[in-house]
Amino acid sequence: MPLWKSILGDKDLLSAIVSGVLLAVGFVADQVGAPAPLVTGIFLSSALAGGWHAVLTSLQQLLRFQFDVDLLMVVAAIGAGAVGQIEEGAMLLFLFSLGHGLEGFATERARRAIDGLGALTPEVAARVVDPMAMDTAVEEVPVVALAVGDVVRVLAGERIPVDGVVHRGESSVDQSPITGESVPVTKRAGASVFAGTLNGDGVLIVKATKLAGESTMARMVRLVEESQANKGRVQRAAEVFTRVYTPVILVAVPILIGVLMSMGFSWPEAFTRAMAVLVGASPCALAISTPSAVLAGIARAARAGILVKGGASMEALGLVDAVAFDKTCTLTAGTPVVTDILVAEGHSRNSVLQVAAALDSQSSHPLARAVLRAAEAAGLAGPNAHGGAAAEVRALRGKGVCGTVNGERAAILSPRAAIAGTEWPSPGDALRAAVVAAEARAQTVSVVVLGLKVIGALCVADPPRSDASATIARLRAIGIRRSVMLTGDNSEVARAIGLTVGVDEVRADLLPEQKIDAVKRLLGESRGVAMVGDGVNDAPALAAATVGIAMGASGTDVALEAADVALMSDDLSALPFAFELSRRTRTIIRQNVGISLGVVGLLVIAASAGWVGLGVAVVLHEGSTVLVAFNALRLLGYSGSRRD
């Protein structure tokens, strides 16, 4: 939006401009010798233009027996007029309204950074009339009218209108508004897509899985807006201070007038000096020092794909010095992969993989899916590619699966069942040693049997995330002194993963309630603890920590609702940025509070001593308010040590 439109659309800034123009006209009229009633009328009009909003706010607060800083400004302006300094009162209200307008303008920029996310979702979608038709005839419908199961067409360069699954087509999609990823992600049939993300150079046919109002983008914007009501400790303390401080100042001013008059000052002199003290003592800058910084910090985090749910969470992140991680889907990818294929003499890697894939093609077990993915990657997928069709496939309780492949008896067995050698052939010494070594490396091993011989074995593992090790190292570099893995997995697997990613401690074989106990022990030993998990099975531990951080929020509704912070993608490396941003926000808050209290202290002393008049006090007071607002606005451009 052009700057002039923003100004005309802001009633506070518009009132300040009108007040300023009238104030300038009044000073010119006074200098050229215009009649006194005219000059007074112009100054009074300037005061009304600049102060009407403050007067209304003060009256509303007084009716509820509450006091705020607007009341102090109104009292000071009325006092100036009462002693014949109507021009000083008009200047006070002009600068007060200008300060409020600029403060609101700065804060609105932070708020627009959030609202801009919601504006990314298109209002109209091209619904496909017949999903099976090759010509994909469409009708234009409002996005809010789409139902779950509707199919829409998204052309190249268009924004995706709904959360859904790709029905047909392939394209790269820019998901940065949701996940913060800087690189477009390739989407093909079966992949999830999100409303508000930008389609690349292909055409996608997308089947809606959520209503418009329940899309990830809509929920994210809604939760960020709600988070503004979740105030941190510093912000709550500042609000309590302001409510108590304002009536104290109102009582102190008459006392100061009496003291000054007892010292020999005339009524006008004492009253004018007391009004200058009243202006200087007004905590306007203090009132906005925390909320403006928190709002800007939350907006900056949202642009980086990090949802921080309120000021309390933003403040708490900056106190964390210990981080507890779940293992699966947090430090690891959560998807098992075939890491190695062990081969008996006389056989090949492909022959072992073909027999295993033939048997696993009829299973939905996660390990079976890992084998099938490996077969596809090796070019062994497709009709009759899995070593022929498997028949009579059945599960062997606690042992594996068996059946026939190409007419020969075949099986995939656990090492224990294979080594026992009671019903099935046992592996040779060399292969047995390789199996034992693989298990020592925390890999899951499946022995493959064909006919009367063991032909090899498959090693499957849930690998660490590619960015896990670098993230742990970065956390240590920014001052996180302890990193702990909490997992229900067995200790061998946990220790292997922990050693790979570089955590300081590993606590394995934990039930959910034991994870909570572990987090509570960490709380007793640390200043603050963050628990990072997938947001579903780790929910109790997330709640027990100082800050609960959910991974993979783009695919987990529970994470958005339950966690204090949600990483809107599986990008673990966003975690250090979240901590750095929180610390920077706390620094900005401290700077703002220091500026606010420092200016108040200096003005009270200077005005009491008569070193500054009412006009100078007004300028310095409002200047500090604007300075605080724009200091907070710097957070919108914060890039930390990693993310733009």
Q: What is the CATH number of the domain that holds 444?
A: 3.40.1110.10
Which SS3 state, helix, strand or coil, does residue 307 take? strand
Is the per-residue pLDDT at 2 higher than 50?
no
| Euclidean distance between CA atoms 298 and 585, whole angstroms | 9
pLDDT digits (tens, 9 = 90+) for 153-182: 888 888 888 889 998 888 888 876 665 555
Phi, then psi, of 17 in degrees rounded to 5: -65, -45
**Residue 551, domain member (yes or no):** no
pLDDT digits (tens, 9 = 90+) for 82-116: 767 777 777 777 766 776 666 566 556 555 555 55
**Residue 557, domain member (yes or no):** no
**Residue 55, domain member (yes or no):** yes
Of the residues 461, 490, 506, the one at which a domain ends: 461
Instruction: Give the chain's domain count.
Output: 3
Nearest to 88 by CA among 102, 76, 72, 71: 76
- Which residue among the candidates 68, 70, 174, 326 is catalytic per the annotation? 326
pLDDT for res 3: 43
| Euclidean distance between CA atoms 642 and 256, whole angstroms | 54
Q: Are 155 and 214 in contact (CB under 8 A)?
A: no
pLDDT digits (tens, 9 = 90+) for 230-276: 555 655 666 666 677 777 877 888 888 888 888 888 887 888 888 88
Lowest mean pLDDT among 305-319, 457-471, 557-571: 557-571
Strand order through the sheet with 192-193 = 138-142, 124-128, 151-154, 204-208, 164-169, 192-193
Q: Are residues 236 and 105 in the same domain?
A: yes
Q: Are residues 33 and 16 in the same domain?
A: yes
Angle between helices 574-609 and 284-303 (to 10 degrees): 170
Q: Are residues 433 and 403 in the same domain?
A: yes
pLDDT for res 385: 45
Is the per-residue pLDDT at 384 higher than 50?
no
Q: Are residues 188 and 205 in the same domain?
A: yes
Full-model pTM: 0.69
Of the residues 171, 189, 214, the one at which a domain ends: 214
- Helices marked H in 361-426 — which ranges? 366-377, 415-420
Nearest to 573 by CA among 446, 475, 442: 475
Q: Are 90 and 614 in contact (CB under 8 A)?
A: no
| Euclidean distance between CA atoms 517 and 291, whole angstroms | 34
Q: Are residues 138 and 94 in the same domain?
A: no
pLDDT for res 556: 54
pLDDT for res 242: 66
Nearest to 179 by CA among 570, 461, 563: 570
pLDDT for res 172: 85
Q: What is the CA radius of gyration of the chain?
A: 34
Q: Are residues 186 and 134 in the same domain?
A: yes
Of the residues 189, 214, 239, the one at which a domain ends: 214
pLDDT for res 103: 58
Angle between helices 69-82 and 233-262 (to 10 degrees): 20
Pairing state of beta strands 529-533 and 390-396? Answer: unpaired
pLDDT for res 99: 63
- Which two tokens mark 502? 């570089």
pLDDT confidence tier of residue 224, bands split at 50, 70 and 90:
low
How many CB atoms sit inside 10 A of residue 317's CB?
A: 28
**Residue 540, domain member (yes or no):** no
Which SS3 state, helix, strand or coil, does residue 413 take? strand
Buried b (16+ CB within 10 A) or exposed e, 602-629: ebbebbbeeebbbbbbbbbbbebbbbbb
Which tops the pLDDT comparison, 405 or 8? 405
**Residue 401, domain member (yes or no):** yes
Q: Are 51 and 7 in contact (CB under 8 A)?
A: no
**Residue 610, domain member (yes or no):** yes
Mean pLDDT for 214-229 is 63
Euclidean distance between the first and the last CA atom of the chain, given in angstroms as a whole number: 23
Provide, rounded to the nearest whole percent, the portion of the chain with pLDDT above 90.
16
pLDDT for res 134: 45
Which tops the pLDDT comparison, 63 or 532? 532
| Euclidean distance between CA atoms 607 and 617, whole angstroms | 7
**Residue 473, domain member (yes or no):** no
Q: Are residues 279 and 374 in the same domain?
A: no
Q: Are residues 105 and 231 in the same domain?
A: yes
pLDDT for res 4: 44
Is the per-residue pLDDT at 324 higher than 90?
yes
pLDDT for res 469: 94
| Residue 201 a catalytic site member | no
| Euclidean distance between CA atoms 524 and 520, whole angstroms | 6
Q: Are 451 and 463 in contact (CB under 8 A)?
A: no
Q: Are residues 108 and 128 in the same domain?
A: no
Is the per-residue pLDDT at 133 higher than 70?
no
Q: Are residues 150 and 284 in the same domain?
A: no
Most confident of 44-58, 68-82, 569-583: 569-583
Phi, then psi, of 563 in degrees rounded to 5: -85, 160
pLDDT for res 130: 67
Q: Cα–chain-centroid distance for residue 530?
A: 15
- Helices marked H in 263-348 — which ranges? 267-281, 284-303, 311-317
Q: Are residues 34 and 180 in the same domain?
A: no
Which tops the pLDDT comparison, 199 or 387? 199
Query: In 29-177, where do the E strands start and end?
Result: 124-128, 138-142, 151-154, 164-169, 171-174
Mean pLDDT for 396-410 is 84
pLDDT for res 196: 83
Q: Are residues 87 and 135 in the same domain?
A: no
pLDDT confidence tier of residue 66, bands split at 50, 70 and 90:
low
Lowest mean pLDDT among 10-14, 253-257, 421-425, 512-516: 10-14
Most confident of 113-122, 244-253, 401-410: 401-410
| Euclidean distance between CA atoms 616 and 80, whole angstroms | 14
**Residue 9, domain member (yes or no):** yes
What range does the domain containing 271 cover?
A: 3-115+227-296+583-637
**DSSP sequence for 5-67:** HHHHT-HHHHHHHHHHHHHHHHHHHHHTT--HHHHHHHHHHHHHHHHHHHHHHHHHHHHTT--
| Euclidean distance between CA atoms 111 and 292, whole angstroms | 10
Is the per-residue pLDDT at 644 higher than 50?
no
How confident is the prediction for the chain on average, in pLDDT? 80
158: CATH: 2.70.150.10
pLDDT for res 141: 86
Is the per-residue pLDDT at 587 higher than 90?
yes
pLDDT confidence tier of residue 581, bands split at 50, 70 and 90:
very high
Is the per-residue pLDDT at 20 higher than 60?
yes
